[in-house]
Amino acid sequence: MEAAPVPAPEPFRPPGSSVLSLDFERLRSKLLTYLKPEDVGRVEAAYHFSASAHEGQFRISGEPYISHPVAVAAVVADWNLDSQALIAALLHDVMEDTHISKQEIAERFGKTAAELVDGLSKLDKIEFRSQEEAQAENFRKMLLAMASDLRVILVKLADRLHNMRTLDCVRPAKRRRIANETLEIYAPIANRLGLNNLYRELQELSFEHKYPLRFRVLSRAIKAARGNRREVVGKVLASIEERMPQWGISAEVQGREKHLYSIYRKMVEKHLSFSQVLDIYGFRVIVPDIAGCYLALGALHAMFKPVPGKFKDYIAIPKANGYQSLHTTLIGPFGTPVEVQIRTREMHHIAEAGVASHWLYKEDEKTLTELQQKTHSWLQSLLELQNTSGEATEFLEHVKIDLFPGEVYVFSPKGTIFSLLKGATPVDFAYAVHTDIGNRCVACRINGDLMPLRTELRNGDQVEIITAAHANPNPAWLSYVRTGKARAQIRHFIKNAQQEESVALGERLLNQALRPHGLTLGQISTFAWDRFLRDRGVRSKKEIFSDIGLGKRLPVIVARRVAQAQDQESGRPDVIKPKPAGAILIRGSEGIAVQLARCCQPIPGDPIIGTIRKGQGLEVHLHDCPTVAKLRGDRGRWVDVEWEAGEDRLFDVTIRVLTKNARGVLARVASAIAEADCNIQNLNMDNEQGAYTALNLTLQVRDRMHLAHVMRAVRRVPEVVRIGRLRGDGRAG
């Protein structure tokens, strides 16, 4: 959407009910070719209404503002969209820039048109912390409106196209920002919807305004190269046109120059100079049917040698946006690589107009229905992202990820094809199959072999996901998943798990902090809680517990305030008999809200202490850990904790073993550890001490007794000089 219109330098009189601008006259003539006269009448009424609403407003270029809505409607008319979409195009700025309300639009032009205009209007009345947050929230609103009616995004894309075509009058900094936004968001959306012509034009215009100097230099280079390569292009075109009838193929052959932005991107990605980019021309062969596509491919491969690995069959496996074609690269005359696309007339319609072909070409209902289903599934995925993404900026980040170009096609064990982003992993595949499969994923098989979950998938891989009933998403997955859905679902699960765990921990911490006041949580009355919550502007006890569990509130302070509220309610005397606070019992398997410190790696049997870290919950350290020494004076920041008996799980602990340099010593140490019923999780060596080598081994043990047993076993290895547990300060002790 363009910035707020500038005031008119002089009074402007909008077209009256009997006067039409020349631009609208042309638009009206176009509409009469495919709309009923009464629908054209409604569109004309919207034009007069918009002209009146924008009276006295001018664009930065000095043109009457009404010229912009008319131009947007003209783009929409090129896709043969219906009268409601055209009305929305003409009125898309009236709610934002004038006093007109959604209710007034609904009364004059119907509820549908009003909803479309509302979906296109920015959230001007809301205060945002930053421009990025405002942009993200506006974008989220538009996409959610689009999920219920696709015409919202089509009108928005037409609006963006006209703004890009007239961007010369905008100051350079704003021009670059708008161009960048178009490249990052709007051009990829046009591509995702199959609007190929629009996608290319938005890219070209963005390139021109974002990198004006590079655009001009590359334009001049292309013009100079045309003359040099005209002979090659003409020869290839003539050869293809001559060969097709010989194979009994009726084909239309087109030669085309590649777009500047695609050439520029190839130069950047492959670190090429312009002279090294040989394939700046492409060819398109349009045939009557699918059989003709494969026959034409055979004819081309018989005529010119194909480049190995450069053939793609998008007919058998269409792109997510419905695009279908055969792509092949051939070695043409003079050794020049030549790209050729082969498709049917219907495929050509879809490739050029995408979802808009639903309005343009009604004859190929089967293909269009499949395309609509794919678009619908994408829109549903946007709604899922909306439900799992709390912040608008997070939602925008996930959508941007999914709009990133490049696809890889993989198969489920049943043969179902899944289209994923290039670089996607089995975790992305698991979430693409179903959210529950992703959440319960523990391992995978790729082409029958067990592989790590971070493995990058390749075209044609068959992927099988192994699940476990009690498994949960691993936060580490966020470092390598590629799809927006996987990222959003993992974050959503972790956020919810952290919320639940922090509430439970907060309850335990507050109960402990109340004991010195002679109270327990069960003794605090509803009246006292209400008073406490009202005084602090908090909605619920759950929010207080969560804040305590996450370290945002100190339990001793909350306990004091709650006890005061209880005293006021019950009239208890000030002098009460305090009870021992008691320790919080730690199992070591609580999850996100309770974490075992990595610096000192406490294990059951160790004397421990808990510290409350803001935003992270309770962290358990060894009693003598140097990290918590400085917190000793701050009673509110540390908590008495003890190990809960009977917890059967393994804990990581690191030991440092100093050995003599001798052949086979590592094997003997490892064997001693294995015989002590212990697993080595990690190992690193330091042999800078001359005749000795220091081994740092991270082991998995049950408790302190188990660790002592392991260390005794290692000490019996003859080459071992010294052994100790690695302390928080990096020394063995």
Whether the CB-CB separation of 54 and 14 falls below 8 Å is answered with yes
- Catalytic status, residue 96: yes
- Catalytic status, residue 543: no
In whole angstroms, give the CA distance from residue 637 to residue 442.
37
Q: What is the DSSP string of 587-655?
A: -S---SSEEE-TTT---TTS-EEEEEETTTEEEEEETT-HHHHTTTT-GGGEE-EEEPTT----EEEEE
Please list the residues that pair with 339 across neighbouring strands: 282, 329
The residue type found at 434 is H
Of the residues 39, 96, 569, 624, only one is catalytic, namely: 96
- Tally the C-alpha atoms within 13 A of residue 51's C-alpha that lie toward its C-beta: 20
Burial of 242 (0-12, 13-18, 19+ CB in 10 A): exposed
- Residue whose pair of structure tokens reads 């302190």 in the numeric block: 704
In whole angstroms, give the CA distance from residue 506 to residue 546.
6
Q: Which of 85, 83, 69 is nearest to 154 (CA)?
A: 85
Of the residues 44, 97, 115, 501, only one is catalytic, namely: 97
Q: What is the DSSP string of 289-352?
A: SHHHHHHHHHHHHHHSEEPTT--EETTTS--TT----EEEEEE-GGG-EEEEEEEEHHHHHHHH
Copy the structure tokens of residue 237.
Answer: 């075109």
How many C-beta atoms surround the C-beta of residue 532 within 10 A?
A: 20
Q: Which of 416, 377, 46 is nearest to 193 (CA)?
A: 377
What beta strand segments (E) does 358-421 contain? 407-411, 417-421
In whole angstroms, give the CA distance from residue 223 to residue 217.
10
Whether the CB-CB separation of 509 and 582 falls below 8 Å is answered with no
Q: Which of 176, 260, 165, 167 is nearest to 211 (CA)?
A: 176
Copy the structure tokens of residue 52.
Answer: 């009146």
Whether the CB-CB separation of 212 and 371 falls below 8 Å is answered with no
In whole angstroms, give the CA distance from residue 75 to residue 90.
11
In whole angstroms, give the CA distance from residue 673 to residue 682.
13
Whether the CB-CB separation of 297 and 328 falls below 8 Å is answered with yes
Q: In 418-483, where does DSSP find H-type helix?
A: 426-433, 435-439
In whole angstroms, give the CA distance from residue 44 to residue 50.
10
In whole angstroms, give the CA distance from residue 92 to residue 73.
10
In whole angstroms, give the CA distance from residue 567 to residue 571.
5
Compute the C-alpha angle 23/26/28, nearest 5°.
Answer: 110
Burial of 650 (0-12, 13-18, 19+ CB in 10 A): middle
Residues ≥6 apart with Cβ < 8 Å to 685: 666, 693, 694, 695, 696
Please identify every residue annotated as catalytic. 96-97
